[in-house]
């Protein structure tokens, strides 16, 4: 088993994978749906545990990452592939240079993104293409201060080494990282893109739900933060840009997890749809629904409900000066409902 190439992604469960692993170990299952796969690390954990995993997310970016790391059993990019991808071409497209000039990256970096995007279609194997696209997205995320595309320019430049490396170097490094992550767990795994509310297939032993956490104090809009890599994942062929927006972002994509009035109903629908599976639901202590509300909702659909929690404030000593300051205390919950 390889190592998962990390990217910063809002709500990523990367830091609590051990906690999730221990909880999953207490459940007997062979097939799993990761319904909101996002950055992909939980799907990869499940694959590493030998499970047949279906990954789903409504972002094309998430699908590309899961195709490269979860669905993919064997495909890697060799030196000749990398050279081909980065080789100059007079037919290279210029969409990024034309659209994002002066916004996020230097002209050279934009030209490199265009060049590779144009060459990707020359790869015949869909999983090789997925590695190339995932690596290109990861390169762009690493080169963007704070890893989000909500502001233009470099006012948050924090001097990280990642920012000083060229897009080309970031891309090649990421390809090698993705190559390392490829393995076959002997099961069939699939990566899909779609609104989970529309997905009716329900015959999984385990369904893991990690929806966007809703809080009245901050927005949980993934597309607003990650529109650039979402566009890059399909080279802007799948969704229109809002031309008048400063950041040239993509049009909003509706999701019931963005509003208080719809989130309860959406969760209830999913709990009902997957009520014959073991449900594992991640949520956070500073979000709505509350721990009590979620437990109660799950109890209406599952025979037995357990709640596991991990304290993020104390487990990861990055903010040690804030220990004891309750405003920063936040727990991650995992609700497990058994059929
Ligand atoms: C908390 S994140 C998941 C993080 C992921 N488990 C990880 O470790 O990186 C929530 C995800 O839900 C996705 N999402 C939001 N609404 C959705 C919907 N209606 N259907 C499918 N995915 C959705 C977002 O794109 C985002 O990737």
Task: Write out pLDDT tens, residues 248-291.
Answer: 999 999 999 999 999 999 999 999 999 999 999 999 999 999 99
Q: Residue 212 gets which letter from DSSP?
A: P
C-alpha 175/C-alpha 254 separation (Å) is 32
Residues 6+ apart with CB under 8 A from 68: 127, 130, 131, 133, 134, 135, 178, 181, 182
Distance 324 CA to ligand 1 centre (A): 31
Cβ atoms of residues 85 and 119 within 8 Å: yes
| Average pLDDT of span 130-146 | 96
Neighbours of 186 (CB within 10 A): 8
What's the CATH code, domain 14-338?
A: 3.40.50.150
Distance 84 CA to ligand 1 centre (A): 33
Work out the pLDDT band at 156, boundaries 50, 70, 90.
low
Choice between 164 and 58, residue whose per-residue pLDDT is larger: 58
Residues in the chain, overall count: 339
Q: Residue 159 gets which letter from DSSP?
A: -
Cβ atoms of residues 95 and 115 within 8 Å: no
C-alpha radius of gyration, the chain, whole number: 20
Neighbours of 262 (CB within 10 A): 15
Centroid of chain to Cα 247: 21
Helix/strand/coil for 73: coil
Query: Tens digit of pLDDT for each residue in 8-66?
Result: 899 999 999 999 999 999 999 999 999 999 999 999 999 999 999 999 999 999 999 99
Q: Ligand 1 pocket test: pick from 58, 193, 333 the residue with the most ligand atoms within 8 Å of its Cβ.
A: 58
Work out the pLDDT band at 144, boundaries 50, 70, 90.
very high
C-alpha 338/C-alpha 302 separation (Å) is 5
Distance 193 CA to ligand 1 centre (A): 11
Distance 252 CA to ligand 1 centre (A): 15
Neighbours of 126 (CB within 10 A): 11
Query: Tens digit of pLDDT for each residue in 197-235?
Result: 999 988 999 999 999 999 988 889 999 999 999 999 999
Cβ atoms of residues 278 and 338 within 8 Å: yes
Q: What are phi and psi of 124, to 5 degrees?
A: -80, -30
CA count, 13 A, side-chain hemisphere, 297: 20
C-alpha 22/C-alpha 175 separation (Å) is 30
Judged against a pLDDT cut of 90, whether residue 154 lies above it is answered with: no
Query: Reading across the β-sheet that carries 278-284, which strands appear in turn?
Result: 190-193, 52-57, 31-34, 206-209, 278-284, 331-338, 304-311
Q: Which atom of ligand 1 lies nearest, measured to the CA of 34?
A: 6
Distance 59 CA to ligand 1 centre (A): 8
Cβ atoms of residues 149 and 104 within 8 Å: yes
* Cut 0.85: pTM above it: yes
Which residues have C-beta atoms less than 6 Å from ligand 1?
Answer: 9, 11-13, 36-39, 41-42, 57-59, 62, 195-197, 210-212, 222, 255, 257
Centroid of chain to Cα 154: 24
């Amino acid at each position: 088993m390889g190592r998962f190439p990390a990217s910063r992604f809002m709500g990523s469960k990367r830091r609590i994978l051990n906690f999730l692993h221990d909880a999953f170990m207490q459940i007997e299952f062979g097939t799993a749906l990761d319904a909101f796969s996002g950055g992909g690390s939980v799907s990869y954990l499940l694959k590493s545990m030998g499970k047949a995993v279906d990954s789903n997310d409504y972002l094309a970016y998430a699908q590309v990452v899961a195709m490269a790391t979860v669905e993919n059993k064997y495909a890697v990019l060799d030196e000749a592939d990398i050279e081909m991808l980065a080789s100059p071409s007079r037919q290279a497209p210029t969409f990024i240079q034309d659209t994002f000039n002066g916004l996020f990256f230097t002209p050279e970096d934009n030209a490199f993104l265009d060049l590779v995007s144009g060459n990707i279609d020359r790869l015949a194997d869909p999983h090789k293409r997925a590695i190339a696209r995932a690596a290109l997205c990861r390169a762009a995320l690493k080169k963007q201060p704070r890893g989000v595309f909500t502001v233009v320019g470099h006012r948050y430049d924090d001097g990280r080494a990642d920012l000083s490396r060229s897009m080309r170097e970031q891309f090649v490094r990421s390809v090698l990282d993705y190559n390392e992550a490829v393995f076959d767990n002997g099961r069939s795994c699939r990566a899909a893109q779609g609104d989970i509310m529309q997905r009716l297939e329900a015959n999984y032993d385990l369904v893991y739900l990690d929806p966007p956490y809703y809080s009245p104090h901050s927005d949980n809009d993934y597309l607003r933060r990650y529109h650039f890599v979402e566009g890059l994942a399909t080279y802007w062929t799948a969704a229109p840009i809002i031309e008048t927006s400063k950041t040239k972002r993509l049009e909003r994509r509706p999701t019931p997890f963005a509003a208080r009035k719809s989130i309860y109903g959406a969760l209830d629908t999913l709990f009902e749809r997957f009520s014959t599976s073991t449900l594992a639901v991640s949520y956070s202590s500073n979000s709505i629904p509350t721990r009590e509300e979620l437990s109660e909702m799950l109890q209406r659909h599952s025979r037995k409900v357990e709640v596991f929690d991990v304290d993020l404030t104390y487990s990861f000593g990055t903010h040690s000066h804030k220990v004891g300051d309750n405003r920063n205390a936040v727990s991650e919950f995992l609700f497990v409902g058994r059929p």
